[in-house]
């Protein structure tokens, strides 16, 4: 046994390597299920991966809390980029998060951020941070350079 930072509530706890490995495996499985559902554009399955459906897409400026709001956000994304795909480039584990370096690709065939469809492709790197309470997914925070995405669809350049 070894001493590791607690995975909840900020204290210390004693854990075995297999306990930590099992928790990481369950979390990573949830992340893979979540991203696969996004790539299938299966909104219900994506929402179902959350214990509490919450997205914070930082460039959009406001958190999206609750299943209905997340459903709306995902439909907005899939309507704007009907061929959107998200690829995991690398996965890293923290005490209560799984960080995924991602690549988002798609074609803007619907309005996005007030911009009418341009038919132009996008290819943007993102940081996706999946927040967990034990093995329960409670939030996804996404960072990406919105200026790059907008330039790729023809805004400001």
Which residues, at least 6 apart from 100, have a Cβ–Cβ distance to it below 8 Å? Answer: 31, 35, 88, 89, 90, 91, 92, 127, 128, 129, 130
Predicted confidence (pLDDT) per residue in 135-146, tens digit: 999 999 999 999
Out of 3-7, 94-98, 120-124, 133-137, least confident range: 3-7
Give the predicted TM-score (pTM) of the model.
0.85
Would you say residue 124 lies in a domain?
Answer: yes
**Helix, strand or coil, per DSSP, at residue 5:** strand
Would you say residue 157 lies in a domain?
Answer: no
Which of these, 130, 121, 151, lies nearest to 51 by C-alpha position? Answer: 130
**Counted domains in the chain:** 1
Which domain range does residue 120 map to? 2-152
CATH number at residue 64: 3.10.450.50
The H-or-E segment that residue 101 falls in is strand 97-107
Structure tokens at 73: 């956000």
């Amino acid at each position: 046994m070894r001493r590791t930072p607690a995975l909840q509530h900020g204290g210390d706890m004693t854990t075995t390597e297999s306990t930590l490995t099992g928790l990481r495996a369950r979390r990573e499985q949830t992340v893979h299920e979540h991203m696969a559902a996004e790539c299938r554009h299966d909104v219900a399955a994506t929402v179902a991966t959350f214990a509490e459906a919450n997205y914070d897409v930082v460039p959009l400026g406001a958190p999206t809390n609750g299943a209905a709001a997340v459903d709306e956000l995902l439909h907005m994304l899939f309507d704007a980029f009907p061929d959107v795909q998200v690829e995991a480039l690398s996965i890293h584990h923290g005490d209560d998060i799984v960080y995924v370096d991602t690549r988002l690709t798609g074609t803007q065939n619907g309005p996005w951020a007030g911009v009418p469809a341009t038919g132009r492709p996008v290819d943007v790197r993102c940081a996706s941070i999946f927040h967990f309470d034990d093995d329960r997914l409670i939030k996804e925070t996404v960072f990406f350079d919105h200026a790059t995405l907008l330039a790729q669809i023809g805004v400001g350049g």
